[in-house]
Amino acid sequence: MNGPSSDEWTNIARENSAVATSLSKLGIEVSARLMYQGYVVTMCNLHVLFGADFPLLPEALAIERFRELIR
């Protein structure tokens, strides 16, 4: 399956845990990374619970999709 490696995922989780709750503008990269992590974790949970009804599609695991949503 495509997507981040274990080391990349560790970095995403570590960097996201350091982002304080804020009402100010976070910027494209931080916002995309936070949305990306939330999406991937949610889809993994749905896949575990419901299997084939929520497949983990490699094209959906591209962080660039989330950067485009922010722009």
pLDDT (tens digit, 9 = 90+) per residue, 6-46? 898 899 889 988 888 775 788 889 999 999 999 989 988 88
Residue 46 resides in a domain: yes
The contacts of residue 30 (CB under 8 Å, 6+ apart) are 19
Q: How many residues does the chain have?
A: 71
Domain that holds residue 38: 6-15+26-70
**How many domains does the structure of the chain reveal?**
1
The contacts of residue 53 (CB under 8 Å, 6+ apart) are 46
Residue 37 resides in a domain: yes
pTM reported for the whole predicted model = 0.68
Residue 47 resides in a domain: yes
Residue 20 resides in a domain: no
**pLDDT, averaged across the chain:** 85
Residue 61 resides in a domain: yes
Buried b (16+ CB within 10 A) or exposed e, 36-65: bbeebeebeeeeeeeeeeeeeeeeebebee
Residue 59 resides in a domain: yes
Residue 1 resides in a domain: no
Residue 21 resides in a domain: no
